[in-house]
Chains A and B, each alone.
Chain A
Amino acid sequence: MKEEEKLSSVQVFFLALNFFLASAFILMPSAVAATAGRDGWAAILIAAGAGILLSKLYAALCIRFSGRTIILFAQDIAGEIPGKIMGLLFAWFALHLGALVLRNFGDFMVISLMPCTPLIVFNSVIMLIAAMAVYRGLEVLCRFNLMLMPVILVSMAVIIIFCFTIPNFDAAKLLPLFENGFSRVLKTSLIPMTFPFGEGVLFLMIFPNMSNSGDAKKIMAGAIIASAMIIASITAETVAVFGSNAKNFVYSTHSMIRCIELAEIFERTDTLTIVIWILSGLIKISVCLYAFVKGCTQLFALKDYRPIVIPSGIIMTALSILVYENVIEQTEFASKIWPFYSLVFELLLPLMLITLDSVKKVF
């Protein structure tokens, strides 16, 4: 096996930040508005709190088994066969998540830009690039991400600032707060907790490569706080612009950005959404692909992960086409099934491992 690649804390921080922002920036405002109405931003902030707790759990695992990924230490803790089953489940989660993100990516391009282009064109093109990034290694992926980060963050800042200039922007539309009770908001916060914050569980595959893995807790908490602020502010803005109509848009962020017109010069800024979407979606898909590929490599004790990058990419692309029949199914899955389904991998699996380990230590 090639010698381990070492990542700096800054690199992992930005990788995590981009990972959390990627699809949530576009999808989250509509997702939380569906149940929490105009209080969606609060649900995101609550979810960020929960996400920080989750990432504490991941970081604790990482420190306890420094240098080993979840696939390996699961076998240490639970024994070979149960550990392998857990590892397999984890690898499946990475694959499935990657496919879902890829599908979201393609759907967005088809729905909002090019309705006649087949989905597979977008999905395979982006997968090709993601596979290339993964093939080159984690370090390259991180450096690539650092290069994209300024573009993404500046675009997001431009969007967030310019949305204030939309003629019917009115912060009063956010009132009254918590009209349908705070419990509604709490329930809704399960959605942003499992997507995107809980998805940070994939970083259990990346932490071992950090040169200073003691930073993991700080890094994840920082990335979650920063991304939650950005996502919550864009969510609040969609409500301030569209009011009760915000929940009716498939991509309310995109629809809002289309309304920006500043001095008749700065308009049609929706291309910025596409820029963000392609660049940060690409990184998220790459991370998922890396987690899956690395997981399989360790699970089956392969020498190198490179040979299976391309086949895994093809599987992921195929899965992304197959997962949903239509966009309604997707919304249904994302809001009703995903929060509970993903909790198995995001909370149950790591929690089980750490409890088992603690129990073993006592006896």
Chain B
Amino acid sequence: MKKNLILLCIILAVLLNSSGCWNQRELNTIAIAAGIGIDVEKSGTHKKIKLTAQIVRPARLSASSGEQKGGSSSQVLVLDSTGDTVFDAVRNFTMLSSRKLFFPHNQVIVIGEEAARDGVRPLLDFFVRDHENRGRVWLLVCRGKAGDILRAKAGQEEIPALGIAQLEEAGAAASRTRPMRLHEFVNNLLSKTTSPAVSNIELVKQEDKKAVKLSGSAFFKDGKLAGFLDETESRGLLWVEGKVKSGIIAVSSPDSGEKLSLEIIRATSKVIPHLKDGSVSVDVVIKEEGNLGDEMCGYDITSPVKLSIIEKRQSEVIKKEVEAAIKKARECKADIFGFGEAVQKKYPVEWKSMERDWQEIFPEIEIKVAIQAKIRRVGMTVKPLEPE
């Protein structure tokens, strides 16, 4: 009995001391990266990778609730580092930061325009290969330098990168940009025909300070940034993908031309490819349900006939948005909708001969867009605020 007790003590002593990792790192030795910006620096033929890391200062964050609140001190530290490769640049941070960068809590990766135009495949390999990185991180592209984006204020958050991440999530309420997580993007990047789109972020002035704003999307062709979609075109893309979560559709009233707004409640889409005599056509069927959100036109919506007029106009607006996106995609010969993959799924045999020339085939295919938009409810009031 006594022997067992001693044994138990020894086992406990060993276990308690040997748990944990070989190379464990405590919170006070790591620098938690909240956001990473990737740019390229070119001098002549020489190309260097410039990374900007937004690092959380935990001490500042906890102090902000107490007496030290205020002042100009920021809750984050933004540092730049350059290197020949992405990982090289990551490691070079250790020469100016006293702590080693820690990636699992990284929220966003912002890629500068120049770097994105050179191709993102080589830039993203590190973030997929390294075990510390998570696929859930948001991926964005910005016009100009990514470093400037990470130095600006974002939303109401203390940590700007967190703000950008939440902008991506909140952006679903407007559905005017294409939020994209890294693992989804990488999956699309490996497709031979689909041109993935990601949110585009830009600098704006807010209370005399630099701040960021989501603005449309950017799309890639062959792993390289190929162009930007404005907000209308972005929504058009989301309609086709069935990814519109919410948003406002402004419709002009039939009598005055003034606007009334309809809130999107739900939307679904179906992409049906057809192959006839060797030519491809695609049917896009979008079903949408909305509610009347506000009226600025004094249009009386109370009769079913009048309601159906508005429903029709709503469909037209949606159709215009989709057609704007299609036009842009055709111009750039970029299959942002993934029609190629839809064809591949339905006609795998015929697809083999098309795959290589899809870039040329895609702009020529016939795309039929059918919209079924409904208005279900009109809110808490019935008639507009006008005397009869």
Q: Do A and B come from one complex?
A: yes
Q: Does A358 contact B (CB under 8 A)?
A: no
CA distance A117 to B344 in the complex (A): 45
Which residues of A, 133-192, contact B by the 8 Å Cβ criterion? 167-168, 172, 175-176, 179
Q: Which residues of B contact A168 (CB under 8 A)?
A: 181, 183-184, 187
- Given contacts A117-B23, A258-B134, A176 and B348 within 8 Å (CB-CB): yes
Q: Which of B190, B191, B345 contacts A172 (CB 8 A)?
A: B345
- The size class of the interface chain B forms with chain A is 10 to 19
How far is A179 from B347 in the complex, measured between Cα atoms in Å? 10
Question: Which of A117, A245, A258 contacts B186 (CB under 8 A)?
Answer: A245
Q: Which of A115, A117, A258 contacts B135 (CB 8 A)?
A: A258
C-alpha spacing A167/B245, complex, angstroms: 13
Q: How far is the CB of B143 from chain A (nearest CB, A)?
A: 27
Cβ-based interface call for A116 (8 A): yes
Give CA–CA (A168, B191) in the complex, Å: 15
Query: Quick check: is A212 within 8 A (CB to CB) of the other chain?
Result: no
Q: Select one of A116, A248, A255 contacting B23, CB under 8 A.
A: A116
A180's closest neighbor in chain B, by CB?
B348
A255 to B129, CA, bound (A): 10
Q: Which of B131, B344, B348 contacts A115 (CB 8 A)?
A: B131
B21 contacts the other chain (Cβ, under 8 Å)?
yes
User: Would you list which residues of chain B between 171 and 221 have a CB under 8 Å from chain A?
Assistant: 181, 183-184, 186-187, 190-191
In the complex, A262 has a CB within 8 A of chain B: no
Is B183 in contact with A116, judged by CB distance below 8 angstroms?
Answer: no
Which residues of A are found within 8 Å of B21, using beta-carbon distances? 113-114, 117
A115-B132 Cα distance, complex, nearest whole Å: 10
Instruction: Check A259–B348 contact: CB distance below 8 A.
Output: no
Contact B135 A245 (CB under 8 A): no
A230-286 CB contacts (< 8 Å) to partner B:
241-245, 248, 255, 258-259, 261
CB contact list, B37-57 vs A, under 8 A: none
A255 near B135: Cβ-Cβ < 8 Å: yes
Q: B190 contacts which of A114, A176, A179, A248 (Cβ < 8 Å)?
A: A248
Residues of A within 8 A of B131 (CB): 111-113, 115
- The residue in B134, B136, B187, B346 that gathers the most chain A C-beta atoms within 10 A of its C-beta is B187
The answer on a CB contact under 8 Å between A179 and B348 is: yes
Q: Which residues of B contact A356 (CB under 8 A)?
A: none
Across the interface, do B348 and A245 meet the contact criterion of CB distance under 8 Å? no
Residues of B within 8 A of A175 (CB): 345
CB A327 to nearest CB in B, in angstroms, measures 12
Contacts of B181 in A (CB 8 A): 167-168
Complex Cα distance A112/B134, Å? 12
User: Mask for B104-138, Cβ within 8 A of A = 1, else 0?
Assistant: 00000000000000000000000000010011100
Q: Which residues of B contact A352 (CB under 8 A)?
A: none
| Chain B 341-377 interface 0/1 with A at a Cβ cutoff of 8 Å (1 = within) | 0001110100000000000000000000000000000
Instruction: Give Cα distance in the complex from A267 to B22, angstroms.
Output: 25
Judged by a CB distance under 8 angstroms, whether A121 is at the interface is: yes
- Nearest CB on B from A126, distance (A): 14
Q: What CA separation (Å) do A175 and B346 show in the bound complex?
A: 8
Q: Quick one: which of A117, A241, A244, A261 contacts B22, CB cutoff 8 A?
A: A117
Among A117, A121, A176, A243, the residue within 8 A (CB) of B187 is A243
Q: How far is the CA of A118 from the CA of B131 in the complex (A)?
A: 16
Contact, CB under 8 Å: B183 / A244: no
Look across to chain B and name the residue whose beta carbon is closest to the beta carbon of A115.
Answer: B131
Selected from A111, A121, A242, the residue in CB contact (under 8 A) with B183 is: A242
Does B22 contact A245, Cβ atoms closer than 8 Å? no
Q: Given the complex of chains A and B, what is the CA–CA distance between A115 and B22 in angstroms?
A: 9
Candidates B136, B344, B345; contact of A259 at CB < 8 Å: B136
The residue on A at minimum CB distance from B180 is A168
A242 touches B134 (CB 8 A): no
Known: A176-B345, A245-B190. A114 touches B183 (CB 8 A): no
Task: Give A242 to B183 CA distance when docked, in angstroms.
Answer: 8
CA of A176 to CA of B344 in the docked complex: distance in angstroms? Answer: 7
Contact with A along B1-40 (1 / 0, CB 8 A): 0000000000000000000011100000000000000000
Bitwise, A105-139 to B at CB < 8 A (1) or not (0) is 00000011111111001000000000000000000
Does A244 lie within 8 Å of B135, measured CB to CB? no
Give the CA-CA distance A245 to B187 in the complex, in Å: 5
- B340, chain A: closest CB distance, angstroms: 12
- Verify A259–B23 contact, CB threshold 8 A: no
Question: Bound state CA distance, A243 and B345, in angstroms?
Answer: 12
Residues of B within 8 A of A243 (CB): 187, 190-191
Across-interface contacts of A117 in B (CB, < 8 A): 21-23
Closest A residue by C-beta to B21 = A114
Please, how many angstroms separate the alpha-carbon atoms of A318 and B24 in the complex?
A: 26
User: Contact flags (1/0) for A279-319 with B, using CB distance below 8 Å?
Assistant: 00000000000000000000000000000000000000000
Q: Once bound together, how far apart are the Cα atoms of A113 and B22, in whole Å?
A: 11
Q: Which residues of A contact B136 (CB under 8 A)?
A: 258-259, 261
**B233 vs chain A, min Cβ distance (A):** 22
- Contact check, A114 vs B348: say whether CB atoms are below 8 A apart: no
CB nearest neighbor in B for A247: B190
Do B187 and A114 touch across chains, with their CB atoms under 8 A apart?
Answer: no
Chain A to chain B contacts (Cβ below 8 Å), 15 pairs: A114-B21, A114-B23, A116-B23, A121-B22, A167-B184, A168-B183, A168-B187, A176-B346, A176-B348, A179-B348, A245-B186, A248-B190, A258-B135, A258-B136, A259-B135
- Residues of chain A touching chain B, judged by Cβ–Cβ distance below 8 Å, are 111-118, 121, 167-168, 172, 175-176, 179, 241-245, 248, 255, 258-259, 261
Residues of B whose CB lies within 8 Å of any CB of A are 21-23, 131, 134-136, 181, 183-184, 186-187, 190-191, 344-346, 348
Given contacts A112-B131, A168-B181, 4 further A-B contacts (CB under 8 A): A114-B22, A114-B23, A168-B184, A245-B190
Q: Lowest 8 CB-CB distances: which A-B pairs, in order? A: A117-B22, A176-B348, A116-B23, A175-B345, A179-B348, A168-B184, A245-B187, A243-B187
